[in-house]
Structure 1
Amino acid sequence: MQEKNLSPEEIAGQELLDKTIAAHGGLDTWNSFEGLSYNLANAGKNLYQITQLQDRRTYTKSDDFEIGFDGKVAWSLPNAEKVPGKSAAFYYNLDFYFAAIPFVLKDNGVNVFYDGETTINEKAYETLKVTFGSEIGLTPEDVYYLYIDPSTSLLEILTYSVSFFDKENAGINSAKVYSDWQEVDGIKMPGSMRNFAWKDGVMGEENVNYQRVFSDYKFLKSIPDNSIFEVPEGGLTENI
């Protein structure tokens, strides 16, 4: 199979992504683990999540619901009414994916472009634009922009579109600010992700209802019990 000819923007994008991943701990270190678990607090709610890093099966438990992905379908118990977005398919890997950037941007079907230097709140950043192949996931129309601190090569701001619910009007109107980095088994993971309004390149007011606080990160050499990902009796399924 003939390899795709990369544009100069793609070549520079991959170089910057590789530099960023190295600053976050390195892809070899990330790939040496089978699983990742953590606790997450958001808007007064607490949950536990564990993800199989190679095939992305997940299990999440909160006081109000359980959701998971068994490799084929997303599921919820007792139902998805109290799940963010009221959809297990939408939410099952949402927090994991944002926390696991930049590493997950090495997945097949992810396109990365260097988008120049950007100034936000009087600070200069190196910028990556991320798009997805048409066969990737439920929302290949999503677009991300990563704003990387040039002095540390760490991800600091991420802006993104959400096309899951409305593909025709999925503009970029949110920004996540990463902070409180924690080094866990050689990998830098965010302790906090705060959401801000975003419009025309300007960051607005913070939406405190969407602040994520992570704790108790654990990288796992093996998953203790893989049955945790399977659809439980009574679980409601959604196709992926």
Structure 2
Amino acid sequence: MKKVIFTLAVVIASTIATAQTAKEIIAQSIEAIGGSQNFYNKGSVTYDYEYRAPKGENAITLVGKETYLFDGERSYATYSTHTLTGANGKVVEGYNGTDAWVTFDGKVSNDEQANGVARFLRKTNYYWFAMFYKLLDEGVNQELLADQKVNGKDYKRIKITFGDHVGDGQDTYIIYVNKKTKLIEQFLFTVVGFGITDPFLMTFDYETVDGIKIPTKRKYIESDWEGNVIGKKYYITNWKNITFGVHVDKTMFEKPGK
């Protein structure tokens, strides 16, 4: 009986040590890109956004301007092109930290699907901009995986999962942290909100803006869980003209007409 208890204690201690090690690696990575305090102290950000899916039957193009208020994770966007909704005119989306909404040419939409797309984009686009700073948030689970060499570089790999009530969908991420630079240089992810549980591989180039390293040039493609590319075409996202600390009126995130 004593042996069983001792073995269980060793297993528990090992699990705790692994979780702490994963968190320490993430904490170092956050510092390497500028640090959480430096990021959140900026308060707000705006930037030009471009997303292009591969040409074909399900091609999607989104072109617009994103604005976020870090307090409450409020998110707002105006789109000149938004093929995901099939709209031809101006599309505006907002999220006040609780509810999302969308307008088409100034008219508030009551379409359930359109509002669902707006909620997904508002929360997803904000999350990906602030993602690396949120990996140590409450309700986020970190698991250290085996190291891996990619293109001659040595990486620490950490699996990221979420608690049952964290976010609208509990996706899985695997981040790759460069052992030398401490930077996250790629990650695997799912899109459970759209029923996609097989991974994509996201790679990117950093740009430094106001002391913060931001992965502004991004592309992703279907892969396996070891990071091997199996897709044929890339999805492209670009973030340009990033400006922190812009004046933001909180009312812009509220549904028009309230």
Q: Normalised by the shorter chain, which TM-score bucket?
A: 0.7 to 0.9
**Structure 2: how far apart are the matches of 1:153 and 1:215?**
24
**Structure 1: how far apart are the matches of 2:135 and 2:47?**
20
**Structure 2: how far apart are the matches of 1:206 and 1:9?**
36
Aligned to 2:46: 37
Deviations 1:94-114 (A, max 9, x none): 123223221122322112222
Q: How many residues align?
A: 222
Deviations 1:110-158 (A, max 9, x none): 1222223123345431111111111112113x11110112221111111
The equivalences for 1:42-191 within 5 A come to 42-43=51-52, 45-63=62-80, 64=82, 65-78=91-104, 79=109, 87-140=117-170, 142-166=171-195, 170-179=196-205, 181-191=206-216
**Structure 2: how far apart are the matches of 1:14 and 1:128?**
9
Aligned match for 1:219, one of 238, 241, 244: 244
**Structure 1: how far apart are the matches of 2:177 and 2:198?**
18
Deviations 1:40-88 (A, max 9, x none): 112254211111113101101101421110122111112498x999611
Identical amino acids, percent of aligned pairs = 22
**Structure 1: how far apart are the matches of 2:215 and 2:114?**
21
Aligned to 1:18: 27
**Structure 2: how far apart are the matches of 1:200 and 1:214?**
27
1:197 touches 1:205 (CA, 8 Å); kept in 2? Answer: yes
**Structure 1: how far apart are the matches of 2:92 and 2:74?**
14
Q: Secondary structure at the match of 1:8?
A: helix
2:44 touches 2:244 (CA, 8 Å); kept in 1? Answer: yes
RMSD of equivalent CA atoms: 2.5
TM-score, structure 2 normalization: 0.78
TM-score, structure 1 normalization: 0.83
Q: Which runs of 5+ in 1 are unaligned?
A: 235-240
Q: Secondary structure at the match of 2:71?
A: coil
2:101 touches 2:115 (CA, 8 Å); kept in 1? Answer: no
The structure with the largest alpha-carbon Rg is: 2
**Structure 1: how far apart are the matches of 2:17 and 2:256?**
48
1:159 touches 1:175 (CA, 8 Å); kept in 2? Answer: yes
Q: Which runs of 5+ in 2 are unaligned?
A: 1-12, 53-60, 83-90
1:84 touches 1:91 (CA, 8 Å); kept in 2? Answer: no
2:207 touches 2:214 (CA, 8 Å); kept in 1? Answer: yes
2:102 touches 2:114 (CA, 8 Å); kept in 1? Answer: no
